[in-house]
Amino acid sequence: MSKPLMVDARAVRKSFGLNEVLKGITLQVEQGQVLCLLGPSGSGKSTFLRCINHLETINGGRLYVEGELMGFREGADAIYEMKPNAIAKQRSEIGMVFQRFNLFPHLTAIENVIEAPIGVKKLSKADATKKALELLASVGLSDKADHYPSQLSGGQQQRVAIARALAMEPKLMLFDEPTSALDPELVGDVLDVMRNLAKSGMTMIVVTHEIGFAREVADRVVFMDSGVVVEEGTPAQVLDNPQNQRTKAFISSVL
Amino acid sequence: MANQLGKDDVVAVPLRHPWRWVSAVILVVLLGLFVYSLWASPNINHDVISKYIFNGKVIAAAGLTVTLTVVSMIIGTILAIALAIMRLSKNPVLKIVSTGYVGFFRGTPLLLQIVFWGYLGIIYPTIDIGIPFTDMIWWSEKTSLVFTSIIAGIIALSLNEAAYAAEIVRAGILSVDAGQAEAAKSLGMSSGYTLRKIVLPQAMRVIIPPMGNEFISMLKNTSLLQVVAVMELYARTSQISSQNLAQVELLVVAGFWYLVMTTVLSFPQSYLEKKYGRGFSVATQKSRWLRIGSKGNV
């Protein structure tokens, strides 16, 4: 008997106009698992990630997080769109880290971290601040709490963004190419934080080009191309002994 | 940084710029002559200026001008935010109404709108509150008693201002990166909360400089309310001058007070710019320098 499923995607389809970006993605992620999504740009991996927390509305299939359908309510004969506050509630339990950090520039690092716990979870400012300081310490940025994002390096901003997502105590973390916008020497610190998070048992889905990170941290690797899952398995299977021609070509190009 | 190895060795004789001097002297002389001609003119009575410049009625009128400006600006801005949100919403009816509103109020002269609101009583002699198309009327009043000239003036100015400010607010909201709202959504924030706490504070940085312009325009546009007999600064000074025939002297008095008011009202702008600029590069650098100055606070 395997662990309960955190994410259960069944034949998920997504189109932008006539352009079908996801052509039936079926994918399961167990609780506590780290899944790395690889693939060339335009393969649909970021779109799939954004479908999981309903930043994009899917056009076909079903997508469940912890057994709950995302963004919709299943009735007897139809599915219904959810109300915005119900969707917001679902999203608040899923953390997301963006390629371009998307920190709030008008707030300091600590204000970035406490904004949602106070505004959404209704924590008191004292409790939220205490928690936020712990989180900033855990990403190695205790001394930067009162800095504005513009005063931080890209790597530091991304670590604040991770702390901000963790402050909502999510059950699942989504990473959308978290190191792609960073200078090479700053990538390591962010990956260290993610490595520790994986060790702590967090369920994570990571869209990345860092093959080394995938090999070391991922429980499973999924290779996507043109909106379909081409190959999946353990890092050893997919990265070291790919079966599919497209996977082989991609891995040799990024290594 | 100065040359660390030795003394500065470029000590050149500066290039001379004779034409800068010539043009400056000509300009100063012309300006001086102009001011002197005004000062020495027998047609301008300085005693009248000094008699009216701190006259109680004039100062009260200037106070009314400030009140009209502030009240109309507040109402106009609130309406503008609503119009901008309507314009950006997915509801096509709200979008069209907002676009139409802006088109209408920007497309007709402010003077025309002011006179129109002054004549409202001709179209609607009474104002009734009740259920439409029935005889149920709970409250009724003559329009001229509700829409006094000051109320009509404030309505005209605020509705007109809303149209211009709506475009400024919309531009400000659009200037905020879409990733901001996305990050807020991903944290579970509602769209209203996102707008209030994340998008608008960042939009303010873009909104405030043009709104400062609007504020000053508004202050001067209150003078148009003279046509509906609101006793603001311009109406008051022209009323006085129509009695003592010292037109130019009272224009000087009015001009002086308009300048004082626009200058004073410019100060809040720089304060607001600093407040909403926090976290953005220029202001941040400044605060960094301030921090070095006060080491204890870091």
* Region B107-133 average pLDDT: 88
CA distances from A98 to A164, B29, B36, B98, B110 (A): 12, 63, 67, 34, 47
Put simply, whether B182 touches A (Cβ < 8 Å) is yes
Residue B218 to chain A, least CA–CA distance (Å) = 30
* Region B215-240 average pLDDT: 94
Q: What is the pLDDT of residues B146-202, one digit of tens each?
A: 888 899 999 999 999 999 999 999 999 999 999 999 999 999 999 999 999 999 999
Q: What is the pLDDT of residues A215-250, one digit of tens each?
A: 999 999 999 999 999 999 999 999 999 999 999 999
Task: Name every residue whose Cβ is closer than 8 Å to that of residue B8 and which is 6 or more positions away in sequence.
Answer: B2
Cβ contacts (< 8 Å) between A96 and chain B: which residues?
Answer: 183, 186
* Residue of B131 and B293 predicted with greater confidence: B131
* Residue of A2 and B23 predicted with greater confidence: B23
Token pair 């546009």: residue: B221
CB A169 within 8 A of CB A197: no
pLDDT band for position B123 (50/70/90)? confident
Distance CA B166, CA B88 (A): 11
| pLDDT tops 50 at residue B293 | no
Flag if A89 and B183 touch (Cβ within 8 Å). Answer: no
Put simply, whether A11 touches B (Cβ < 8 Å) is no
Would you state the pLDDT for residue B204? 93
Distance CA A249, CA B77 (A): 58
Q: What is the pLDDT of residues A108-145, one digit of tens each?
A: 999 999 999 999 999 999 999 999 999 999 999 999 99
Q: How many residues does chain B have?
A: 298
Flag if A88 and B276 touch (Cβ within 8 Å). Answer: no
Cβ contacts (< 8 Å) between B202 and chain A: which residues?
Answer: 104-106
pLDDT band for position A205 (50/70/90)? very high
pLDDT mean across residues, chain A: 94
Would you state the pLDDT for residue B292? 42
Distance CA B170, CA B168 (A): 5
In this prediction the pTM is: 0.82
Would you state the pLDDT for residue A36? 96
Angle between helices B56-88 and B149-175 (to 10 degrees): 40
Residue A238, H or E segment: none
Flag if A91 and B281 touch (Cβ within 8 Å). Answer: no
Flag if A102 and B180 touch (Cβ within 8 Å). Answer: yes
| Of the listed ranges B91-95, B120-124, B160-164, B250-254, the one predicted with least confidence | B120-124
Please, which residues 162-221 of chain A have a Cβ atom closer than 8 Å to chain B? 164-165, 168
Tokens of A205: 């889905």
Put simply, whether B177 touches A (Cβ < 8 Å) is yes
Flag if A88 and B190 touch (Cβ within 8 Å). Answer: yes
Would you state the pLDDT for residue B4? 59
Put simply, whether A3 touches B (Cβ < 8 Å) is no
